[in-house]
Structure 1
C-alpha cells in the first residue's frame, strides 16, 4: 500500500497566554475538548495521526489515538541537550513516521479545521515541497512538507518551528472554504469566540476511507 502523508498534531506548548483556568487544550468545546475536537477532525481525514505532547497531556491524547501514536517530549524549560519548542516537536513527530510520504503540521489548538482541508493540503504535496491552507487569501494551517524534506525536518529545534524551511522552498497555498484554518486559541477570549463558531458550524461530511 502506498504511504500517505501523516498529520502531526502539536500539543506540547505551555499555553502560557491562556490564563489560570487550566491548559487551553483541555478546555471544553462542545461535547469534547479543544484537543479532542482537533484530533477528531484529524482522525476523520483517514490520514495517519501522530500527537506530540508532554506527559501532562499524554493521557488526554490517548483517549483519542493509540498509545503508539503519542510521542511524549519534555516540557519547555526542561534542562537537556536539546533546544525544546515547536521545532523540536515537529522533528519528534516526523521521526516517529519516517516512512510517510509527507507530513502535515497541525497545531492542537485549531479544532475547527475540517478533514477535507487536511486532505486537500496533503494532496498538494504530490506536486509541491511545501503546502499550506489559505482562506480568502489569508495564510493558515495546516502546513504540509513533502518526504524530500525529511532530513531537514528531523533536525529542527527551538521555537521558530519550520519558518526558515518554509521560507527556503517554494510554498503552495491551497485555497479552502474553511475559516477554521485561521482560528486558534491563545487566550480565554479566543476560546469564547471559538465556542460560538463551533456551536453554529454545520456537521462535516467525513471523507470516505481510501
Structure 2
C-alpha cells in the first residue's frame, strides 16, 4: 500500500468515527481535520467533497458490522442456528461496536433521511442486503424442512432487522443494554418457537 493509500485509509477510519458519533450534518471537515491531524488540503487531496468522504466512511463502518454478521452466519450450519447467529452477532456488535458511536446503519439512516440522497441510497442497500441474507436463510430452511412450512422469509427478515435495530435505538435512548437484551431474548424465542419446524 502506498503512502497516499495509507493516508486515504487513515482519513476514512477517522472520519467513520466522526460521522458515526456526530452524524453527517453535525460533522464538519474541521472535525475530520482535528481527528486526522491533517489540513483541509490533505483531506481534499483524497476526497472531492464532504459527501464523497461520508460515503467512503460509511462504507468502511458498515463493512465492519456486515462482515461480522456474515462471518457469524457462515460459522453455523442449518437455518435455525444461522438465524440465532444473526441475533448473537448483533448482540456482539452492540456490546463492542467496530466503530465508536454505535450502529453505523441506524445512525446513518436517521441522519441521512432528509440529507444526502447518495448516502441514504447506500444505507438502504445495506439494509436490503441484511434482509436478503436473513430471507435466504429462511428459504434454505424451508427447502430442507428445518423451517416451519408457510413461514414468509420476507416477514422474518423484516421482523428481525426492525427488532434488532429498534433494540439498539431503545438501548441508546435509555443508556441501558437491557433493552437490546430483551429484544435479543425475544427474537431467540421467536426463532425457536415460531420459525423452527
- TM-score between both structures, scaled by the size of structure 2: 0.28
Larger fraction in helix: 2
Higher relative contact order (CA 8 A, sep 6+): 1
| Structure with larger Rg | 2
Larger fraction in strand: 1
